[in-house]
């Protein structure tokens, strides 16, 4: 395995050093070197802060989304390991003012355990912090058990919409309600093509025969989700789209935001091909699409694959999704609609 | 906490790191051995506050969950008759934090029987706990994971030992040796 690193131990810190050196007008290190925050924070007694802790190795998420109109801070754990509750608490302390904070938690074991523990510790210090669990991956738990699902790329909708809403001065409770509403309108399904290499062990993170694709994360007992042979991407996307729409049907003429996320080792050429198939599939159903996002934003090293996320936004959510932001890595969202 | 004990754990987990990573690779992301070792090294360097040191350095779910086990051993180190209750309390907290139960193929499948065995054998509580934990870890092999990352793996990790349960057994075995109770 070839990885461009100095040492396993230094990976996260070397990366953060590079990040803050590259974007000094937008982001800065907090007092704790694993806290990345805005270089020019707003008045924290007036604006609710939005932060998340997560293991690194998935860049540009979440560090790359720190900046005006989006996150106030990201607490960076080790590679693929949620930061400790103690570290998340330090991040909360650094950015939380009288307006309070939303602690986003993408639903993965370590993130949930350590995030909830940190929020409890923050409450003990009289900081006003509300944790918000994010989950959207339909393959990780069946319909009816939505709150047992994992957070996947569709969590990006929650980041962006809450980030823009907080910027307009929305209050803490309203932000949490809005975030829950975005979550309930979001669904994601992923397909893996080839494993990423863990920089910790140097080994592939799963195995998959050359001619197979893996849909979802392989939870058993869910018909239709699992391995399938590589074929034309059209068939693969049609299958994934039908799974998504079966889980959460979308009525004709409902504006829908499509996010096609690459997992690190899949080219933009392939992602645009996937998007084209999604677009055609939605067109057949008379589902108009608005303001898509296409690229590799939530990655797992050089893992090849992609996910499709669908959001049916309210008009308010759509405005917030399209609102300008200034972060190192979040792309501009274009308004263009096409029925 | 007794630094010698912590240093012994460090050397034991140095030996086990590759094997634990391998076990974890079958069901998770293959870094369990490295995570525990990071935590143990920090605990051994900070014997006055091993729980927080372990939690901070290990990170991840394992950091928080295994720090509770370290806390239980710290509590019981001078009086192993309290071991069973300390382990049971740790298991309860781990169960709450991780939303897991017996049979979910997690570290609890070693820890819960260890707590019960320690209470049932007041003469040799540490050895009884270690023995029960080893059996418990072995019993995770055919289980299908309901919690933890293994839940999302094809087959739920059936046929593989749970790395967390294995680590619990190793830690308790070392604790038992330290107390002169040879299993």
CATH number of A186-338: 3.30.1180.20
Helix (H) or strand (E) holding A290: strand A289-290
Q: Are the CB atoms for A216 and A189 separated by under 8 Å?
A: yes
Give me the mean pLDDT over the A204-229 stretch: 72
Chain B contacts in chain A segment 310-339 (CB below 8 A): none
**Residues of A annotated catalytic, as ranges:** 58, 220
Which residues of B are less than 8 Å from A83 in CB distance? Answer: 59
- Domain assignment present for residue B174? The answer is yes
Look at residue B145 in the predicted model and tell me its pLDDT.
87
Which residues of B are less than 8 Å from A203 in CB distance? Answer: 25, 30
Residues in chain B with pLDDT values less than 50: none
Check if CATH label 3.30.230.10 holds for domain A11-184. no
Give me the mean pLDDT over the A112-138 stretch: 92
Give me the CATH number covering residue B55: 1.25.40.340
Distance CA A305, CA A192 (A): 4
Structure tokens at A306: 């992609």
Domain that holds residue B116: 3-178
Three-class DSSP category at A37:
strand
Mean pLDDT of chain A: 93
- Domain assignment present for residue B105? The answer is yes
- Domain assignment present for residue B164? The answer is yes
- Domain assignment present for residue B160? The answer is yes
Structure tokens at B180: 């002169």
Look at residue A73 in the predicted model and tell me its pLDDT.
98
Instruction: Give the bridge partners for A307, in sequence order.
Output: A190, A261
The answer to whether the CB atoms of A203 and B29 lie below 8 A apart is no
Q: Is A85 left (phi over 0), alpha (psi -120 to 50) or beta?
A: alpha
* Residues A139/A111/A163/A38 CA torsion (nearest 10 deg): -140
Q: Which residue's entry shows tokens 């690779």?
A: B25
Give long-range contacts, CB 8 A cutoff, 24+ apart: A25-29.
Answer: A26/A66, A26/A67, A26/A68, A26/A326, A26/A327, A26/A328, A27/A63, A27/A66, A27/A67, A27/A328
Look at residue B63 in the predicted model and tell me its pLDDT.
92
Domain locations along chain A: 11-184, 186-338
Helix (H) or strand (E) holding A316: helix A315-322
- Domain assignment present for residue B183? The answer is no
| Residue B123 distance to chain A (closest CA, Å) | 36
- CA-CA-CA-CA torsion sign (A260, A261, A263, A267): positive
Which residues of A are less than 8 Å from B144 in CB distance? Answer: 220
Q: Is the ipTM of this complex over 0.85?
A: no
When divided into structural domains, chain B yields a total of 1
- pLDDT above 60: residue A224: no
């Amino acid at each position: 395995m070839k990885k461009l690193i100095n040492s396993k131990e230094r990976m996260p810190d070397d990366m953060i050093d590079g990040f803050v050196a590259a974007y000094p007008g937008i982001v800065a290190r907090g007092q704790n070197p694993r806290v990345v925050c805005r270089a020019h924070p707003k008045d924290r007694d007036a604006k609710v802060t939005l932060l998340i802790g997560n293991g690194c190795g998935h860049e540009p998420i979440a560090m790359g989304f720190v900046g005006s109109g989006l996150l106030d801070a990201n607490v960076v754990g080790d590679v693929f390991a949620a930061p400790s509750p103690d570290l998340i608490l330090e991040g909360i302390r650094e950015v939380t003012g009288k307006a309070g904070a939303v602690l986003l938690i993408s639903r993965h074991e370590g993130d949930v355990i350590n995030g909830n523990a940190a929020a409890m510790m923050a409450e003990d210090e009289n900081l006003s912090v509300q944790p918000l669990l994010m989950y959207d991956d339909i393959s990780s738990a069946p319909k009816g058990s939505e709150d047992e699902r994992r957070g996947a790329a569709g969590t990006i909708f929650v980041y962006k919409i809450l980030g823009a809403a907080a910027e307009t001065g929305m209050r803490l409770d309203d932000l949490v309600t809005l975030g829950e509403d975005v979550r309930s309108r979001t669904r994601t399904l992923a397909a893996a093509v080839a494993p990423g290499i863990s920089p910790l062990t140097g080994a592939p993170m799963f195995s998959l025969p050359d001619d197979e694709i893996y849909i979802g994360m392989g939870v058993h007992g869910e018909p239709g989700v699992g391995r399938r042979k590589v074929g034309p991407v059209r068939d693969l996307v049609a299958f994934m789209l039908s799974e998504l729409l079966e889980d959460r049907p979308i009525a004709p003429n409902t504006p829908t935001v499509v996010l096609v996320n690459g997992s690190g080792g899949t080219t933009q050429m392939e992602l645009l091909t996937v998007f084209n198939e999604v677009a055609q599939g939605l067109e057949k159903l008379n589902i108009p699409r608005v303001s898509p996002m296409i690229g590799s934003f939530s990655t797992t090293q050089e893992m090849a694959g992609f996910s499709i996320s669908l959001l049916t936004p309210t008009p308010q959510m759509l405005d917030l999704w399209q609102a300008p932001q200034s972060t190192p890595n979040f792309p501009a969202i274009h308004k263009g609609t096409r029925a | 906490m007794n630094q010698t004990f912590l240093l012994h754990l460090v050397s034991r987990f140095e030996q086990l790191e590759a094997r634990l990573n391998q076990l974890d690779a079958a069901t998770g992301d293959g870094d369990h051995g490295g995570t525990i070792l990071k935590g143990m090294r920090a605990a051994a360097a900070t014997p006055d506050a091993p729980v927080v040191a372990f939690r901070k350095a290990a990170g991840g779910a394992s950091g928080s969950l295994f720090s509770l086990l370290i806390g239980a051993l710290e509590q019981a180190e001078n009086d192993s008759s309290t071991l069973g209750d300390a382990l049971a309390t740790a298991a309860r907290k781990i169960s709450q934090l991780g939303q897991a139960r017996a049979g979910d193929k997690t570290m609890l499948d070693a820890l819960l029987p260890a707590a019960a065995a320690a209470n049932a054998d007041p003469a040799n509580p540490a050895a009884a706990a270690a023995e029960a934990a080893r059996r418990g870890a072995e019993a995770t092999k055919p289980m299908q994971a309901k919690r933890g990352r293994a839940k999302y793996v094809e087959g739920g990790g059936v046929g593989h030992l749970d790395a967390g349960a294995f680590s619990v057994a190793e830690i308790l075995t070392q604790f038992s040796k330290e107390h002169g109770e040879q299993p």
